[in-house]
A and B are shown apart, each in its own frame.
Chain A
Amino acid sequence: MSKRKPYVRSMDGWWKKNPYFVEYMIHESTALFVAAYAFILLVGLVRLSQGEPAWNAWLEAMKSPLSVIVHLVLLAGALYHTYSWFKILPITMPPVIVGGKRMSPCALTGSALVVAAAAGLALLGLVWRIAL
């Protein structure tokens, strides 16, 4: 082992110095909100496969105030994921040419957000129809 102790600059909080990176860290962290919800759904699926009493217990647990608060937080995280995912879309997908002109990043993000809103509402409508 070498006895040299080279100076290594600390990385602590490097991203806090620049608003761009703060936003980057926030949008990256939305993955944790999405993952948390996927785990909640997975638990629900486990309970569903265990039969009616287990499923009803899960439904009851979802009614607890803590659960509702957690879901409100998760909803905020997931909405930010949707927003940031489509905000980056202009850089992550090939240029879209409309009428011989490249679609502006703003228009692309805007139309993707409209599509996302429509997809969400369609899902709500579908669930509503199945439930009736």
Chain B
Amino acid sequence: MTKIRKRSNAPIFWGLFGAGGMLSALFVPMMIFITGIAVPLGLLLPANTMSYTKMLAFAQNFIGKGFIFAIISLSLWFAVHRVYHSLHEFGIHAGMGAKLLCYGVAFVSTVISAYLLLGLGF
């Protein structure tokens, strides 16, 4: 008799974790430097680098939109996966509630950013 085994959904979350970890490892340090340090302090980059017109154009561009979406959503899928699996290290037996909370944060943020980016138009 062969049992029909339910397919695990773990590879999806591992995949999102891997993609987010890689993307954030490559780009997040420079992103933080640009948006949080260089532009606010007026270092290195032109003063109007993040002006409303420029950022709107960037967020309306197909590639720009994709980049913003990928950075926000994948970074969060990466982070919540790591936090969820670290609960064990603190002696917390993570159940369904913790899982829903962790992945829920990433899911809701993904939906919000997709909604806003689509709302900004092309």
- What residues of chain A have their CB less than 8 Å away from a CB belonging to chain B? 11-12, 15, 25, 28-29, 31-32, 34-35, 37-42, 44-46, 48-49, 52, 55-56, 59, 62-63, 67-68, 70-72, 74-75, 78-79, 81-82, 85-86, 115-116, 119-121, 123-124, 127-128, 130-132
- Chain B interface secondary structure, helix, strand, loop or mixed? helix
Contact B26 A45 (CB under 8 A): no
Task: Determine if A131 and B45 form an interchain contact, defined as CB atoms under 8 angstroms apart.
Answer: yes
Closest to B59 in A: A48
Quick one: which of B19-69 are within 8 Å of A by CB? 21-22, 24-37, 39-41, 44-46, 48-50, 52, 54-56, 58-59, 68
Q: Does A38 contact B79, Cβ atoms closer than 8 Å?
A: yes
Contacts of A28 in B (CB 8 A): 82, 86, 89
Does B45 lie within 8 Å of A128, measured CB to CB?
yes
- Tally B residues with Cβ within 8 Å of A: 52
Which residue on B lies nearest to A132, using beta carbons? B46
Interface of A is mostly: helix
Please, which residues of chain A bring their CB within 8 A of the CB of B90?
Answer: 11
- The one of B36, B58, B109 that contacts A67, using a Cβ cutoff of 8 Å: B36
